[in-house]
């Protein structure tokens, strides 16, 4: 082998980094090259800001929002780190939707009927008077075309929506006086948002919308005469029993109040499929977990209100419910004609409600009635 060819070959091999070749006279010495160091993968973390309409750590609603934020963070192994801002910490509670829509915040947790000023159609995705129960509403969203309509509505505002909690059937409210007839609502200043409030206006009440943190001082000062909030667990936490004497049932206005997570649409579309799946799954989990928690806590809270605080429970008369139901029918029909998207959602919702009535009446309604009969268990 010629020396010049050998050196040329050795140089080529050395340049490729395969082998180091040392030539001394006719002697050859080879050494194995060190293996390349493994590539270092740096995990990227993206912080997302979630604003809420709830007071910080408020039982059920505020804690549920925090649970959702933590679940998304955990499910993505911190690649999406969700930082929660309670009502007023970043934006006022009723500005949460705009903050997400314009990109000031990335996500919100709230009740979509708060956004009826944007579109009346948003009421259908929280609760409407004499509407769907929690179970029925989930069925509509997942199997009746409701989610697709929600997506269509949100697209116009740059928001992607998910069901992310439910309080179940709510109570009729706290009152400073007895309500014995529809006439007792005339001039009554009551906190009730959404279409429930509009329904009560039709029978003469002065219904107003207030965020949770403003209800107690308004009731205490006399700015309002009555209020609904959620149910025994949350109502006990707010201490309404300290001011209002009468606690009424049933609630007509929110038979299964869906809470929602809204995500900035551009952010949502930029997320990987894996991260989208993590967010969607976290919302679905919280939707079930919150509903279960309310059902678990309300029983104990109701007993506390009755036995420790001597709250007087009252049932609305059938005459009151019929008057409110008639007013609700008028409101719903008018809302359904607001615009094309609202009409589309209303028709879907109404059809699903009609189909649900028959099954629910012979299943859950019939069962709970039967379970209340006197027998030995």
Is-contact 178 300, C-beta < 8 A? no
DSSP letter (8 states) at residue 109: E
d(CA 60, CA 94): 19
Residue (of 278, 172, 298) closest to 237 by Cα position: 298
d(CA 10, CA 171): 88
The pLDDT value given to residue 18: 39
Is-contact 62 105, C-beta < 8 A? no
Q: What is the pLDDT of residues 245-260, one digit of tens each?
A: 999 999 999 999 999 9
Pairing between β-strand 246-249 and β-strand 312-315 as defined by DSSP bridges: parallel
Provide the H-helix boundaries in the chain.
Answer: 3-16, 61-75, 96-101, 134-143, 146-155, 194-202, 212-221, 232-238, 265-270, 273-307, 318-335, 340-362, 364-371
Residue (of 210, 205, 230, 206) closest to 220 by Cα position: 210
d(CA 29, CA 157): 72
* pTM of the predicted structure, to 2 decimals: 0.85
Residue (of 14, 8, 52, 7) closest to 31 by Cα position: 14
CA 121 vs CA 146, 214, 306, 338: distances in Å: 12, 26, 38, 9
d(CA 23, CA 30): 9
The pLDDT value given to residue 6: 38
Residue (of 110, 105, 99) closest to 68 by Cα position: 110
For 114-128, the DSSP string reads GGTTT-GGGGGGT--
Residue 118: both structure tokens together: 């944007």
The pLDDT value given to residue 29: 44
DSSP letter (8 states) at residue 112: G
Residue 64: both structure tokens together: 């549920």
Is-contact 119 195, C-beta < 8 A? no
Look at the block and give the residue holding tokens 């094309």: 340
d(CA 170, CA 168): 6
d(CA 99, CA 121): 20
User: Which H or E element spans position 181?
Assistant: none
**Tens digits of pLDDT across the chain (377 residues):** 444 443 344 443 344 333 333 333 344 444 444 555 555 445 688 999 999 999 899 999 999 999 999 999 999 999 999 999 999 999 999 999 999 999 999 999 999 999 999 999 999 999 999 999 999 999 999 999 999 999 999 999 999 999 999 999 999 999 999 999 999 999 999 999 889 999 999 999 999 989 888 999 999 999 999 999 999 999 999 999 999 999 999 999 999 999 999 999 999 999 999 999 999 999 999 999 999 999 999 999 999 999 999 999 999 999 999 999 999 999 999 999 999 999 999 999 999 999 999 999 999 999 999 999 988 88
Q: What is the mean pLDDT of the chain?
A: 90
Q: What is the pLDDT of residues 220-241, one digit of tens each?
A: 999 999 999 999 999 999 999 9
- What domains are defined for the chain? 46-169+256-296 (3.40.190.170), 173-255+304-335 (3.40.190.10)
Query: Cα angle at 83 between 276 and 273, to 5 degrees?
Result: 10
Which residue(s) pair with 248 in the sheet?
173, 314
d(CA 328, CA 192): 14
User: Which H or E element spans position 30?
Assistant: strand 27-32
Is-contact 73 275, C-beta < 8 A? no
Is-contact 73 228, C-beta < 8 A? no
d(CA 223, CA 261): 31
């Amino acid at each position: 082998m010629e020396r010049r060819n050998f050196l040329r070959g050795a140089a080529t091999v050395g340049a490729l980094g395969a082998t180091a070749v040392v030539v001394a006279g006719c002697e050859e010495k080879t050494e194995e090259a060190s293996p390349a160091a493994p590539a270092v993968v740096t995990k990227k973390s993206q912080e997302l800001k979630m604003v809420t309409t709830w007071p910080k750590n408020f039982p059920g609603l505020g804690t549920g929002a925090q649970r959702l934020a933590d679940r998304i963070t955990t499910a993505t192994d911190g690649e999406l780190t969700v930082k929660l801002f309670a009502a007023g910490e970043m934006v006022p509670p009723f500005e949460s939707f705009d903050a997400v829509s314009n990109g000031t915040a990335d996500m919100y947790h709230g009740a979509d009927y708060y956004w009826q000023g944007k579109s009346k159609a948003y009421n259908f995705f929280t609760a409407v008077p004499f509407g769907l129960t929690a179970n029925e509403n989930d069925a509509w969203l997942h199997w009746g075309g409701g989610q697709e309509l929600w997506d269509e509505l949100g697209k116009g505002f740059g928001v992607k929506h998910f069901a992310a909690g439910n309080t179940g059937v709510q109570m009729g409210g706290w009152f400073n006086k007895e309500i014995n007839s529809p006439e007792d609502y005339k001039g009554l200043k009551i906190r009730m948002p959404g279409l429930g409030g509009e329904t009560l206006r039709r029978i003469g009440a002065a219904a107003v919308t207030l965020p949770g943190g403003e209800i107690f001082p308004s009731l205490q000062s006399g700015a309002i005469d009555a209020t609904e909030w959620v149910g025994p667990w949350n109502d006990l936490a707010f201490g309404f029993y300290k001011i209002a004497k009468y606690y009424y049932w049933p609630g007509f206005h929110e038979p299964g109040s869906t809470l929602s997570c809204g995500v900035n649409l551009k952010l949502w579309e930029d997320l990987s499929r894996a991260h989208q799946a993590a967010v969607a799954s976290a919302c679905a989990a919280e939707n079930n977990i919150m509903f279960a928690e309310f059902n678990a806590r309300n029983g104990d809270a109701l007993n506390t209100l009755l036995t420790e605080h001597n709250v007087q429970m009252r049932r609305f008369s059938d005459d009151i419910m019929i008057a409110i139901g008639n007013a609700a029918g008028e409101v719903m029909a008018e809302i359904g004609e607001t615009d094309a998207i609202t009409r589309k959602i209303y028709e879907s919702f109404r059809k699903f409600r009609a189909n649900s009535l028959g099954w629910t009446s012979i299943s859950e309604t019939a069962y709970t009635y039967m379970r209340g009969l006197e027998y030995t268990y």
